[in-house]
Structure 1
Amino acid sequence: MSLKDELKGKISEKGLEKLPNRFDIVGDIAVVSIPDELESYKEDIACAITGRMQNIKNVLNKVSKLEGNRRVAGFEIIAGNSTETIHKEFGFSYKIDLRQSFFNGRLSYERKRVASLIKPEENILVPFSGVGPFAIPAAASAASVVAVEMNRAACKSFITNRRLNGLEDKIHIINADANSIPNLLKTEFDRAIIPTPYGMDHFLETISPLVKKGGFIHFYTFKPKEKIPELIKRYESMGFEVLFHRRCGNVAPGISRWVFDLKNEILF
């Protein structure tokens, strides 16, 4: 039975049409975006979620989009008493406070896929590392990872997560703006994983000079489907070989997150 089915009779048919079809789960937290029109039904929605999923202890209503340099959304607690949790995926654990750090559970497959491509001798760069969901599985496969994140709270959680996963010796965390990476780091990397925030595609050109010729870049961007052939041509004209691309979920009407696996053919 779906969430909408469980709420039939409590919310009008017109109201149910406005209820999101899905919600995100991070650890024991469910995150839902409740439209203003359904404000008076928040408790009913929370009860329906916790009633059908016994592992959910807290329900958060997302009340604002990602904001500021820390890239965190606004939440109100509508069931439970916490925005902090331990999230587990594919054998790794992440301590997160969603009010302080961004985390996207929908990219779990991507994190596993990218980690599966990494060779043991590789040194890897991960900007926008957050609490470590890309960097930690990468480090489990690689020789070393340098992770850069400007949100101090996320870095503190990342340090905890590095310890939780037994990777203290393989991950170096830098609390800094990704724009400063070319000035901070003078080494070359075998691979870069770039989970770029919305509207920041210029970071491909910022980060790629730090990747060895013949090295790899996993670049995430937000585009409508019809723009993808044009984007592939652009990356090829920049000197990259496009090895693979796929859609990683919708983020807005007509806009999806895409990943491009690129091989760097440029000698900087």
Structure 2
Amino acid sequence: MSKNSLKTLVEKEVPADLSEYIPNRFDVVGDIAIVSIPPELWDYSEMIATKIVSMRGNIRTVLNKASRVKGDHRVSDFEILLGDSTVTTHGEFKYRYLLDLSEVFFNPRLGYERHRVTSLVLPREDVLVPFCGVGPFAIPAAIRDVSVFCVEKNRYACHWLAENIRLNNFKGNIYPINADAGDIPVILDMKFDRLIVPTPYGQDHFFSLLSPLLKEGGMMHFYTFQVAEDIEKSKQAFKDAGYETISVRRCGNVARGVSRWVFDLKKNRLAKG
């Protein structure tokens, strides 16, 4: 454990029998730090927030994540421990994203993964991004002289997406759509060269729903949550549906034994749909 880790700094200030409850890490979105403090440590929450600020000089606000992501808009409940605003601007590679964490879902841990996938987009492709949020997949993809259709149900996220299109001085072909991803086959009567699908937890049925929208030979980057032991079974299921698995990557753990994975899939000519 690092000498300067949050746990190391905090455990000096709490009783020994509570040290097991100290968070091991926190996330940073712009100048906001997000930490999950269990009830056992609530009396020490202000101290923990102060320690976080001492570790990262750019932090202006510290939020306690009081609930898991929930509801159609996939937003957590937050309690402000330090500071006075949930609005921030997050930098990711050469892009900036303005957002309000009380209104939208944003995962800073996926920064490298978003860069990896959007770097694969080829000029003149038609790209579909459901669950696009405030635009961290859609905007970098759209910079590459392509047409990007991005769909998001949360109207607040759509507001921030529009702000971020302007913030990044983007003038290309990007088409935000405020709609439920389940309605995409009805809304969009076209086929795409590439699908980037950051699927929410437990929503794997979107693979079958969106597959008919992908051209033969097209690429789908499908994100899902599962245990490592199920990877081979998933590969077989994608093969049975007419897809070749080009690569599989772990994109972080979400629960004990459960990780987020991305399957880079190529649609064969004999694929279903």
TM-score normalised by length of structure 1 = 0.98
- Residue number in structure 1 paired with 2:16: 13
**2:130 matches 1:127:** yes
Cα deviation digits, residues 217-241 of structure 1 (max 9, x gap): 0000000111111111111111100
1:212 aligned to which of 215, 224, 249: 215
Quick check: 1:76 aligned with 2:79? yes
1:161 aligns with 2:164: yes
Match of 1:93 among 96, 109, 114: 96
SS at match of 1:73: coil
Q: Does 1:102 align with 2:105?
A: yes
Q: What is the letter of the counterpart of residue 126 of structure 2?
A: N
User: Is 1:129–1:135's contact at 8 Å kept on the other side of the alignment?
Assistant: yes
> Deviation per CA, 1:117-175, whole angstroms, max 9, x where unpaired?
11111110000000001111111124110000000000000000011112243210000
Distance, in Å, in 2 between the alignment partners of 1:168 and 1:110 is 24
Shift of 1:55: 0.3
Query: What is the number of residues matched between the two proteins?
Result: 268
Quote the Cα distance in structure 1 between the aligned partners of 2:189 and 2:86: 38
Counterpart for residue 227 of structure 1: 230
Q: Distance in 1 between matches of 2:82 and 2:29?
A: 15
Q: What residue number does 1:172 align with?
A: 175
For residue 102 of structure 1, give the secondary structure of its aligned residue in structure 2.
Answer: coil
TM-score by length of 2: 0.96
Determine if the alignment matches structure 1 residue 252 to structure 2 residue 262.
Answer: no
CA distance in 2 between counterparts of 1:25 and 1:163 reads: 23
2:57 to 36, 41, 54: 54
Contact residue 123 and residue 142 of structure 1 kept, 8 A: no
Question: Aligned AA for 1:15?
Answer: L
Provide the identity percentage: 52
Which residues of structure 2 form unaligned runs of 5+?
A: none
For residue 195 of structure 1, report the CA deviation from its aligned partner.
Answer: 0.2
RMSD of Structure 2 on Structure 1 (CA): 1.0
For the residues of structure 1 that align with 2:167 and 2:141, how far apart are their CA atoms? 15
- Counterpart residue type for residue 194 of structure 1: V
How much does 1:2 deviate? 1.1
Of stretches 134-143 and 47-56 in structure 1, the one that deviates more from structure 2 is 134-143
AA at the equivalent of 1:43: E
Q: What CA distance in whole angstroms lies between the structure 2 residues aligned with 1:142 and 1:73? A: 35
Residue 258 of structure 1 aligns to which amino acid in structure 2?
Answer: W
For residues 27-54 of structure 1, the C-alpha deviation after alignment (integer angstroms, 9 at most, x for no partner) is 0000000011101110010000001211
Deviation at residue 16 of structure 1 after TM alignment:
2.1
Matched, 1:113 2:108: no
* Alpha-carbon distance, 1:8 to partner: 2.9
In structure 1, list runs of 5 or more residues that go unmatched: none
Q: In the alignment, is residue 148 of structure 1 matched against residue 151 of structure 2?
A: yes
**Residue identity opposite 2:191 in structure 1:** E
Q: Is the 8 A contact 1:124 1:142 kept in 2?
A: no
Output the CA distance in 2 between the equivalents of 1:114 and 1:246.
Answer: 11
Cα displacement (A) at 1:18: 1.3
1:189-226 Cα deviation digits (max 9, x unpaired): 10000000000000011111111000000000000111
Per mean C-alpha deviation after superposition, the further-off stretch among 152-161 and 64-73 is 64-73
1: CA distance, partners of 2:237 / 2:56:
45
